[in-house]
Amino acid sequence: MTEEKTINVSESGFVPKHELLSYEQAQELLKKLNISLKQLPKIKKTDAAIKELNAKRGSIIKITRNSQTAGVYYYYRVVV
């Protein structure tokens, strides 16, 4: 097998929805949570789940997680 096939990562049941926040949304979020970018959990720029989002360093990824206790909740990671 020489041809490289790309896997659609978001199809997997293990990968929650990843979204890129715009600059305004990101600032609003930081203000609402009263934190700086440094304090957010991190995600690598090369992470398989955000390859297609073309996220730049320092932008925030919004992750819609499915939880057994809360149903749906949002988690945020900063791209490093």
Give the pairing of strands 60-67 and 17-20. Answer: antiparallel
Closer CB to other proteins, 41 or 58, in the complex: 41
Q: Which of 15, 12, 61, 58 is nearest to 38 (CA)?
A: 58
Closer CB to other proteins, 14 or 24, in the complex: 14
CB of 71 to other proteins, least distance (A): 3
Q: Which of 27, 31, 29 is nearest to 63 (CA)?
A: 29
CB of 18 to other proteins, least distance (A): 7
CB of 25 to other proteins, least distance (A): 19
Contact at 8 Å (CB) between 57 and 45?
yes
Residues of this chain that interact with other proteins (CB under 8 A) are 1, 5, 7-9, 11-16, 18, 41-44, 47-50, 63, 65, 67-73, 77, 80
